[in-house]
């Protein structure tokens, strides 16, 4: 028969194990968050930092009167919400129902051609204007 462990020592061991597990989980979580996170760039940031070949998340608002459909392509401009700067995007793939001019969007883009940006297929995310719209209808 083995000697029973002192209860306070047992508690201390359990606490140490639990805290170690929590610490490991927290460290892994922080690391993964930074590793998995991708910068969202506005139109002005994209124009400054964008390089050919790299993929960026473009965030902004769809410029009014810029939406045009030609065949399978959707053309629109994404505006910097704070500055009067916008970039043209040519997009193919799934168009979320909420997509419309004036609405905030996120789209993965790559530089294509001298001035334009090519949206990655099925990467367009549009905020749903489902609730709590401002009285003016702006966001």
Residues that bind another protein (CB under 8 A): 7, 11, 18, 22, 25, 28-30, 32-34, 36-40, 57, 59, 67, 69-72, 93-101, 103-104, 106, 121-122, 125-135, 137, 139
Cβ proximity to another protein: between 76 and 114 the closer is: 76
State the minimum distance, in angstroms, from the CB of residue 113 to another protein. 21
User: Smallest distance from the beta carbon of 18 to another protein, in angstroms?
Assistant: 7
Distance of CA 67 to the CA centre of its chain: 22
**How far apart are the C-alpha atoms of 102 and 100, rounded to whole Å?**
6
Residue 32 beta carbon to another protein: minimum distance, rounded to whole angstroms: 6
Task: State how far the Cα of 121 lies from the Cα of 113, in Å rounded to an integer.
Answer: 17
Contact criterion met (CB below 8 Å) for 104 and 126: yes
Asked if 139 and 104 touch (Cβ cutoff 8 Å), the reply is yes
Residue nearer to another protein on the CB measure, 114 or 138: 138
């Amino acid at each position: 028969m083995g000697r029973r462990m002192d209860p306070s020592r047992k508690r201390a061991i359990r606490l140490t194990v639990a805290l170690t597990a929590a610490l490991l989980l927290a460290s892994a979580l922080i690391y993964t968050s930074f590793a998995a996170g991708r910068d969202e760039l506005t139109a002005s940031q994209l124009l400054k930092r964008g390089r050919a070949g790299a993929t960026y998340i473009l965030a902004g608002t769809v410029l009014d009167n810029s939406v045009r459909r030609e065949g399978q392509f959707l053309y629109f401009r994404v505006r910097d919400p704070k500055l009067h700067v916008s970039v043209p995007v040519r997009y193919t793939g799934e168009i979320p129902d909420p997509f419309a001019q004036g609405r905030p969007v996120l789209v993965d883009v790559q530089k294509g051609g001298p001035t334009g940006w090519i949206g990655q297929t099925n990467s367009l995310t549009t905020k749903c204007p489902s609730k709590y719209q401002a009285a003016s209808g702006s966001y």
